Amino acid sequence: MIMKYVETSYENKTQILKFADHWVGVAVTIEADNVSAADNILKAGSVIGGIGGSVLADESLKVEKKNTVDVNADAAEGVLLDDVDISYGDASGTMLVHGFVDTNKLPETVVDEALMALRDNAALVMIE
């Protein structure tokens, strides 16, 4: 079996947390085929959730971006803590499920449906 090693370098880490020492995240796998990301980087602060169910209930599920109404935004479960490179397929990341998020540092405005789902599914406080 041949393994491909890819070294990825991120110039600046976006700190989306208001209080960097107070958060809880879970390990997730981002489904690359279901994510449309510029330059194949899914940005920190992207709203995500499980594909076909709750990743919090079934850790084997992969996640996708949930910040648009056409992909079931009411299934949003958290936000991506760090940028994730999906250039070479599915990739691991951390989904923030508890913490204080600085909304001014998110890559895009969170749609109302996703914002309500985040309030129901996660313990995230969105602060400007």
Nearest Cα to 50, choosing from 24, 30, 23, 68?
30
Sequence ranges of the domains in the chain: 23-127
Query: For 27-62, how does the pLDDT look when each residue is reduced to its tens digit (9 = 90+)?
Result: 999 998 877 666 688 999 999 999 999 999 999 999
Answer yes or no: are the C-beta atoms of 43 and 80 closer than 8 Å. yes
pLDDT, position 17: 93
CATH of domain 23-127: 2.40.300.10
Query: For 66-115, how does the pLDDT look when each residue is reduced to its tens digit (9 = 90+)?
Result: 987 777 888 999 999 999 999 889 999 999 999 999 999 999 999 999 99
pLDDT, position 10: 55
Helix (H, G, I), strand (E, B) or coil at 45: coil
